[in-house]
Amino acid sequence: MPIYNAPVEDMMFLFNKLRNNKKYNEIEKYKEVNSDLVKDILEEAAKISQNLILPLAKSGDENPPKLENGIVRTSPGYKEAYEKFIEDGWISLSCDPKYGGQGMPKTVSAFFDEMLSSACLSFKLYSELTIGAYNCILKHGSDEIKNKYLPKMVEGKWSGTMCLTEPVCGTDLGLLKSKAEEQSDGTYKISGQKIFITSGDHDLTENIIHLVLARATDSPKGTKGISLFLVPKFIVKEDGNLGTRNGVSTGSIEEKMGIKASATCVLNFDEAAGYMIGPKNKGLNSMFTMMNLERIVVGIQGLGISEIAYQNSLSYAKERKQGKANNAKSENGADNIIEHADIRRSLLNMKSIIEGERALCFWLSQQTEVSLNHSDEKVKQEASDFVSLLTPVVKSMFTDLGMEITSEAMQIHGGYGFTKDLGIEQLYRDNRITPIYEGTNSVQAADLVFRKLVTKNDDIIDKYLNLIKEEINISEDKIQPHIKQLNYYLDILTKFTTWIKEKIKDSKDDASAACNDYLKVLGLVATGHAWIKVLEASFKDYDNNKDFYEDKIQTANFYFNRVLPRAENHFKTAITGSKYIMDFKFN
């Protein structure tokens, strides 16, 4: 079983030193969320992640859920762990106190999301979609719906799902066939089949609240005719108690490459009672509340799995002996592989990416809170635009680099990494879904380029580039070499942005072929921006914790010299265009 120690010190560094966003600090309701409170929460979160959740990863992988007589039985130990999980109130961490939540900001809950992703992604998924469904209902549900369903979801007694994909459609939801027939009492009968439904059925909660996209029988074809419906597994009576089983059944559980302990189900809806959420024919708008937040969380999944892969690689490299290093540490026999330059390069590559991503995620968490809770509508809108811009970046880059990092972890472990003995191959398998679900990474890149750079609100990418320029205008002499480096790649990103805006107008194939490269350049520069903020805090507070800050400075040095330069290659290859791609004749 892999080892895992939650990086509480690094998380607290970010919370204490990078929580300097003026607009975030103006949010009144978070004024009392202080360092001592957050440290207590994270230390308890670390304990439950390491001691209760981590052991479930291997056992669940070896003993996945089973469908028995129409009932999904989760992996051994999951039910007991889930009971403890909700008893301690972990699902309610970031939920509204009005419905029984603790009201913590996403700057705190994102850290817990990372810990759970590191410990056992399969277990995390049973509660993750509940929070997504909660957020969607909170924003778009009627007061009656919210009062009826949210308290039990916040408590964790009821869970939630997101039901979009069908056999005939994945990302192209305009093709969906699920239908909704309106009844005389205003409810709907929902019929259709949904596939790849995470936590679609299980025995952990008393009820499961499905959020289902379907087309009313009198609605137009295409995406403009899609509505969103709340469809409970069990009908909820007027007094809040559970009634009869609704017309929802599990057809099968998918057999998957990874996250095997997560019950990914085929669900059949047979005239199931459903309740419309949000306006009719505006279901995609409502569902995107859930999907956009979920995409950020998927990025955090990639970060969490990267962290545990790195920790185990570092531990193994310190113990495994192989060959003589050039600096010849040992007098007799072989050296630990951490003494070899290429192994050290690989470890620093992991570490510099992970810590940069965590800092970027913390910045994005602050922007998310500003977009939801600031009193000034103009400030809220600008923050919302930044979140919208960087959501596909975090989802795609964190998960793609998660594949790189888990692959490198296997390489460091050698043959033992390829076997099941140490659990490294499971990390690789579990992470492989993250670049696929919640919209594949190629879809995210296209969304970024064609929909997020410039919107009806403004030229968002230019606003963001200007923000970076303002925030790296720092006088500290020791940071200047890295600011110079970032400015060089910021200039490349600016040129790339101008090129891609032009191609969107006159050659969409060129723009489409460059989408992934553009996303990566933006992500690498955004992470460099986060590293500059880390460096500023590190030099300012250096004498108070020299070992910690020296580690930060040297890790940043690797990022700027070895990781950030990838941006130039992405730019150079992208601007070669698409003609030689589109003209190629496949046999």
Residue 237: DSSP 8-state: P
Q: How many residues does the chain have?
A: 587
Two structure tokens written together for 336: 């630990």
Instruction: Measure the CA–CA gap between 62 and 133, rounded to whole angstroms.
Output: 29
Residue 225: DSSP 8-state: G
Two structure tokens written together for 224: 């403009």
Which position has the token pair 């913590």? 104
With contact defined as beta carbons under 8 Å apart, do 363 and 530 qualify? Answer: yes
Two structure tokens written together for 365: 């968490």
Instruction: Measure the CA–CA gap between 395 and 386, rounded to whole angstroms.
Output: 14
DSSP SS3 for 16:
helix
* Catalytic-role residue among 128, 166, 355, 438: 438
Residue 6: DSSP 8-state: -
Nearest to 275 by CA among 223, 239, 237, 232: 232
With contact defined as beta carbons under 8 Å apart, do 49 and 57 qualify? Answer: no
Two structure tokens written together for 526: 């955004």
Instruction: Measure the CA–CA gap between 19 and 366, rounded to whole angstroms.
Output: 8
With contact defined as beta carbons under 8 Å apart, do 486 and 528 qualify? Answer: yes
- Partners of 190 in beta bridges: 180, 272
Q: What single string gives the DSSP state of each residue in 501-556?
A: HHHHHH-HHHHHHHHHHHHHHHHHHHHHHHHHHHHHHHHHTGGGSHHHHHHHHHHH
* Contacts of 551 by beta carbon, 8 Å cutoff, 6+ apart: none
Nearest to 197 by CA among 228, 164, 170, 172: 164
Instruction: Measure the CA–CA gap between 19 and 28, rounded to whole angstroms.
Output: 15
Sign of the dihedral through C-alpha 213, 214, 216, 221: positive
With contact defined as beta carbons under 8 Å apart, do 229 and 216 qualify? Answer: no
Instruction: Measure the CA–CA gap between 510 and 499, rounded to whole angstroms.
Output: 10
Instruction: Measure the CA–CA gap between 325 and 237, rounded to whole angstroms.
Output: 70
Backbone angles phi, psi at 122, to 5 degrees: -60, -45
Active site residue 43: no
Instruction: Measure the CA–CA gap between 153 and 138, rounded to whole angstroms.
Output: 11
Nearest to 70 by CA among 272, 260, 265: 265
* Contacts of 190 by beta carbon, 8 Å cutoff, 6+ apart: 178, 179, 180, 212, 214, 229, 231, 247, 269, 271, 272, 273, 274
With contact defined as beta carbons under 8 Å apart, do 274 and 233 qualify? Answer: no
DSSP SS3 for 178:
coil
Catalytic residues: 438
